[in-house]
Amino acid sequence: MRFSKLRLNGFKSFVDPTDLIIADGLTGVVGPNGCGKSNLLEALRWVMGENRAKAMRGGGMEDVIFAGTATRPARNFAEVSLQIDNFDRLAPAAFNDSDNLEVVRRITRDAGSAYKVSTKDVRARDVQMLFADASTGAHSPALVRQGQISELINAKPKARRRILEEAAGISGLYQRRHEAELKLKGAETNLVRVDDVVEQLASQLSQLARQARQAARYREIGDALRQAEGMLLYRRWREADEGLIAAAGQLRERTVAAAAAEKEALQATTARQLAEEALPALREEEAIAAAVLQRLMVQRDTLSEQESRAVETIATLESRIEQLTKDMEREGGLNRDAGETIERLEWEAAEIAKAGVGHEDALEEANDGAREGAAKLQEREDDLQTLTEDVARLAARHQSAKRLLDDSRTTLEKNETEAARAKEAM
């Protein structure tokens, strides 16, 4: 097998798809530092199954994906494909059906990497065995990385032996021998497990014999049980048949009763319809009675307020009448005093007249006293007349208030009677 072309897409500094043609003979790649020469070798190692991020000069395997620059965004995947000339049919039997093989490894962020060989999904182990049979691979000493020369010089005998085996083209045989040894150990482990299983089966054989006897006994008991269940089911069927006949008789009775109940329900429905037809008139009467009751209650409250005001007015008038009575008694006393004064003055005038003429000054003085007494008497009479008129007016108002109170009580009693009748009618 011979490598013919290496294609990179999004791998490290190779953001755009790039093809490296590997022609016959010696192929050289030259360029300044940092142009990506080492990335080509790492891409070759990576597509052949390298899984160590340190060997890829990164902290993680996703570091092989183009991380982006100031002018270009980062990529979400990296892909490397290696075309192999298989004209000699030296590939493993699973991949030895075509002249050209294409090994593709693709890694996606947060999804891991996957391998394909000629558009078929394969395992990383299959790819590693493919290159091991060709005496090469990701860890082949033919792929010299930076610092590997000094490692080869200082390598231990075991590492040197591995280099010689790869140079002799038998590293793949050692890989397959290792796998065969692993499979042989697995087979030995399976044989031990088979012996354990045989012992377990031998121990279970006696249990199965006992279980077989129990199964036979179970079948006998099952037959007897099925026979007993058949008899029981026949008895239950007879009882159910008798119950069916009784239930049929009850059904006829219940049907007759249901017909009678349906007739009664129809009558009740008719009565209900009649009652519902009469219900609007009764509801209207109820609404009218409620309105009348509300009006009567308002009138009752109004009359109660009027009665309270009338009682207050009567109390006020009675107090004023009492006060006027006291004033009349006081004015009567004053009138009696004035009458006594007039009588005394008239008696004195008569005595003075008898005393003789010539006493004009005394007479004039007596006349002045008499006129003054007459003026006071006239003033007292005017006051008495005014008080009498006030008493008469108050007495008339008292009679009017009393009649109003009597009318209010009569109206209240009438309203309460009508309200009681309305409640009884409701």
Q: How far is CA 314 from CA 323, 328, 390, in A?
A: 14, 20, 16
What pLDDT sits at residue 108? 92
Answer yes or no: is pLDDT of 307 > 70.
yes
Around 182, how many Cα atoms within 13 Å sit in the side-chain half-sphere? Answer: 6
| Spatial CB neighbours of 395, under 8 Å, sequence gap ≥ 6 | 321
Query: Which residue(s) pair with 19 in the sheet?
Result: 7
Average pLDDT of the segment spanning 397-412: 78
For the segment 144-175, what is each residue's pLDDT rounded down to a tens digit? 655 555 666 666 777 666 666 665 555 555 66
- Establish if 259 belongs to a structural domain: no
Cα end-to-end span (Å), the chain = 117
Sheet holding 77-85, edge to edge: 18-21, 2-9, 77-85, 100-108, 112-117, 120-122
Average pLDDT of the segment spanning 383-389: 78
Lowest mean pLDDT among 105-119, 123-137, 153-167, 271-285: 153-167
- Establish if 175 belongs to a structural domain: no
Structure tokens at 271: 């009565």
- Establish if 148 belongs to a structural domain: no
What pLDDT sits at residue 326? 82
Distance CA 102, CA 83 (A): 4
- Establish if 69 belongs to a structural domain: yes
Q: How far, rounded to the nearest angstrom, does the alpha carbon of residue 324 sit from its chain's CA centroid?
A: 84
Nearest to 118 by CA among 86, 140, 77: 86
Question: Which domain does 311 fall in, by range?
Answer: 286-425
Choosing from 138, 169, 192, the residue where a domain stops is 138
Nearest to 82 by CA among 189, 170, 9, 147: 9
Between 374 and 356, whose confidence is greater?
A: 374
Average pLDDT of the segment spanning 271-282: 76
Range with the largest mean pLDDT of 147-151, 197-201, 216-220, 318-322: 216-220
In terms of DSSP H, where are the helices of 124-170? 124-133, 148-153, 157-168
Between 219 and 97, whose confidence is greater?
A: 219
Between 15 and 361, whose confidence is greater?
A: 15
What pLDDT sits at residue 79? 94
Average pLDDT of the segment spanning 347-372: 69
Answer yes or no: is pLDDT of 323 > 70.
yes
What pLDDT sits at residue 133? 66
Q: Are strands 112-117 and 100-108 parallel, antiparallel or unpaired?
A: antiparallel
Nearest to 303 by CA among 420, 404, 422: 404
- Establish if 85 belongs to a structural domain: yes
Lowest mean pLDDT among 56-65, 127-136, 187-196, 205-214: 127-136
For the segment 174-210, what is each residue's pLDDT rounded down to a tens digit? 666 777 788 888 888 888 888 888 888 888 888 888 8
Q: How many domains does the chain have?
A: 2
Nearest to 1 by CA among 140, 136, 117: 136
- Establish if 206 belongs to a structural domain: no
What pLDDT sits at residue 150? 65
- Establish if 334 belongs to a structural domain: yes
Angle among Cα 136, 144, 77 to the nearest 5 degrees reads: 75
Tell me which amino acid residue 122 is: V
Lowest mean pLDDT among 60-69, 181-190, 247-256, 384-393: 384-393
Answer yes or no: is pLDDT of 419 > 70.
yes
| CATH number (domain holding residue 20) | 3.40.50.300
Query: Which residue(s) pair with 7 in the sheet?
Result: 19, 81
Confidence of residue 213 (pLDDT cuts 50, 70, 90): confident
| Spatial CB neighbours of 184, under 8 Å, sequence gap ≥ 6 | none
SS3 of residue 94 by DSSP: helix
| CATH number (domain holding residue 387) | 1.10.287.1490
Give, for 93, the enclosing helix (H) or strand (E): none
Between 425 and 407, whose confidence is greater?
A: 407
The answer to whether 64 and 54 have CB atoms below 8 angstroms apart is no
For the segment 70-86, what is each residue's pLDDT rounded down to a tens digit? 888 889 999 999 988 87
Choosing from 138, 170, 197, the residue where a domain stops is 138
- Establish if 266 belongs to a structural domain: no
Structure tokens at 242: 């008798």
Lowest mean pLDDT among 105-109, 234-238, 350-354, 383-387: 350-354
Choosing from 138, 161, 182, the residue where a domain stops is 138
Query: Average pLDDT, whole number, for the chain?
Result: 79
